[in-house]
Amino acid sequence: MAAVVFMEHGFHRHRPVPMKRDDPMEFHITLTDTSPPLDAIRDALFDMDPAAVVDLDMNGLVMRISSSAEAVDLVGVLRQTGWTVTPEQVVQLPSICCGGCGG
């Protein structure tokens, strides 16, 4: 929710306004033996979020996904690849958007 300021009779009034989240979120998912290749994840995510970024951490044990998707939608797409990922495996980090690219 965002607060929008209205001028009413000389007073400022704040009212919450529902907003669709377009800022990318970063998700971390611990890999398992049944994890699909990164390219399969990228291909599956493309239809939902063409700007999604998928990579591995330096140890190669955690998949990092930056996407504007909601966590529940992300889990659904990952399951379509045959990966039996559970919502508990998906750790959502705060927005990583700095606003620098204007996107």
Q: Model pTM?
A: 0.69
What is the predicted pLDDT for the residue at 103? Answer: 52
Q: Give the pLDDT confidence of 66-100 residue by residue, as tens digits.
A: 998 999 999 999 999 999 898 999 999 876 666 66
Pick the CATH number of 21-95 from 3.30.420.40, 1.20.120.450, 3.30.70.100, 1.10.10.10: 3.30.70.100
Please check the confidence at residue 46 and state whether its pLDDT lies above 50. Answer: yes
Helix (H) or strand (E) holding 83: none
Choose between 39 and 13: higher pLDDT. 39
Residues 101, 92 contacting (CB under 8 angstroms): no
What is the predicted pLDDT for the residue at 29? Answer: 94
What is the predicted pLDDT for the residue at 22? Answer: 54
Residues 26, 65 contacting (CB under 8 angstroms): yes
Question: Domain segments of the chain: what residues?
Answer: 21-95
Q: Give the pLDDT confidence of 56-65 residue by residue, as tens digits.
A: 999 989 999 9
